[in-house]
Structure 1
Amino acid sequence: MFKKILVVCVGNICRSPTAELLLRNALTTSSITVSSAGLAARVGEGMESSARQVLEDHGHSAADFTARQITSDIVNESDLILVMEKEHVKQVLKIASHARGKVFLLGKWQSEREIQDPYRQGQAAFIHAHALIEDAVSSWAQRLGH
């Protein structure tokens, strides 16, 4: 059973923190912990302002979030690793090749859909990314039994 889920994107300030928060909220009745990290994280930064605004518009707060860099230790501690793009799977496996069986696209249940980075692409891109993340998180939560 999954106890620790890690969500990964590039900077860890837009997509992965959004997915982390939504998945954590979807799994509140379970003992599963959810965290996130970036492949080229903006370490120590909070969420990107547009991503945070879209979350807040949907009734969530990301005030306490801080970006962190993915490490082999973080990969090793995680039971399930959800990434945004197929390229991210390859990059996680470069960090820890033995993680192969536990790295999946967040959009796996939406025909292996990738979720593109909305960074610096305007508010509409963030709204679109949030909708895709919300859809994918809902599918994962159902499959995780919640």
Structure 2
Amino acid sequence: MMNSILVVCEGNLCRSPMAAAMLGSLLKGQQVASAGLNALVGMPAAQYACDVMRERGHDITGHRATQIARSLCSSADVILAMDGAQKRQIESQFSFTRGRVFRLGEFLDIDVEDPYRRPKSEFERCAELISVCLTEWTARFSAL
């Protein structure tokens, strides 16, 4: 039984908070957390990330950036990274995670690029890409 999903990006300000919010609403009853490989600890989500999520019906204004840690990885049944480099970094830093770390775009063979410090349109594009990737994952999660 899968109970916990960790979504990881670089600074935990844009992609992973957006993905965690969307995934949490898709998978009721599952614990969904987010963290960053180089998190700007304690910082709120990027303003455009908050705006784009609000437009999609999600409130991430209370989000604060969290650094990835052994405890977060230990408690996660699945860890979703935004790209192949992040996947490899997580597996290298926390070797016990091997076999539980996947790219968010694993089944579509795509990476989700970082919209940080880019125009709002890049955040909208990123949110749409995350949504497409999550559609693939939720179908698989519901089969478990």
**TM-score scaled by structure 1?**
0.94
Q: Tell me, in whole angstroms, the C-alpha distance in 1 between the residues paired with 2:36 and 2:5.
A: 14
Q: Tell me, in whole angstroms, the C-alpha distance in 2 between the residues paired with 1:99 and 1:60.
A: 29
Q: Tell me, in whole angstroms, the C-alpha distance in 2 between the residues paired with 1:46 and 1:141.
A: 27
Moved over 3 A (4+): none
Secondary structure (helix, strand or coil) at the match of 1:22 reads: helix
User: Runs of 5+ in structure 2 lacking a partner?
Assistant: none
Aligned-pair RMSD on alpha carbons? 1.1
Q: Tell me, in whole angstroms, the C-alpha distance in 2 between the residues paired with 1:63 and 1:123.
A: 16
Q: How many pairs were matched up? A: 143
Q: In the alignment, is the contact (CA less than 8 A) between 1:12 and 1:41 conserved in 2?
A: yes
Deviations, residues 14-54 of structure 1 (Å, cap 9, x unaligned): 000000000000011xx321000000001111110011111
Secondary structure (helix, strand or coil) at the match of 1:128 reads: helix
Q: Tell me, in whole angstroms, the C-alpha distance in 2 between the residues paired with 1:105 and 1:6.
A: 12
Displacement of 1:63 after TM fit? 2.0
Matched, 1:126 2:123: yes
Q: Which residue of 1 aligns with 2:6?
A: 6
Displacement of 1:6 after TM fit? 0.1
User: Runs of 5+ in structure 1 lacking a partner?
Assistant: none
Q: Which residue of 2 aligns with 1:69?
A: 67
Report matched runs for 1:1-146 at 5 Å. Answer: 1-28=1-28, 31-110=29-108, 112-145=109-142
Q: Tell me, in whole angstroms, the C-alpha distance in 2 between the residues paired with 1:78 and 1:95.
A: 15
